[in-house]
Amino acid sequence: MECFRYQQWEEYNVREKITIMQKLVDLETEILQIPKIPVTAKRLGEFVLGEYDGKTNEMWIDIEHLAKEAVGACMKTICHEVYHSYQRYLVENVDWENEVLQNPYFEELRAWKQNQEGYIAPDINGYDAYQNQPLEFTARAFARDEVERIYSYIE
């Protein structure tokens, strides 16, 4: 956990940072009980910090983001993308024929399924529509809460 301290993070090169982020992904996938996800650093685009591909089960973090941003921002990106993997895993592996899923308790899961079928990219309908869709909203909330939880262990 020491590697997530700001001063320590600043001393790492990009290769070391990606190794640390892979360990974070491995921890999160174990906690969420989903398949492991390989993480690669590469240039993604001017406004893309991270990306998860559900078809290939791969994750990328922007190399410039990893090189320049504080550890907390990189952790949030990673946790956000891991949560997308979790969302996809649940949507793809639940028995949608089971009538129990009509229970209000599963409303969020149904919203994820519907959102996956009609996902809004940020460049098509504007940034607000992208940010406010269920998959993105809950992934951001998870990332924020998870990074806070991790830092509670560090402190």
What does the pLDDT read at residue 124? 64
pLDDT digits (tens, 9 = 90+) for 28-59: 999 999 999 999 999 998 788 999 999 999 99
What does the pLDDT read at residue 125? 65
pLDDT digits (tens, 9 = 90+) for 45-104: 878 899 999 999 999 999 999 999 999 999 999 999 999 999 999 999 999 999 999 999
Every domain of the chain and the residues it spans: 2-154
Q: Are 58 and 50 in contact (CB under 8 A)?
A: no
Residue 76's contacts (CB-CB under 8 Å, 6 or more residues apart) are 143, 144, 147
pTM (predicted TM-score): 0.92
Provide φ and ψ at 35, rounded to 5°: -60, 150
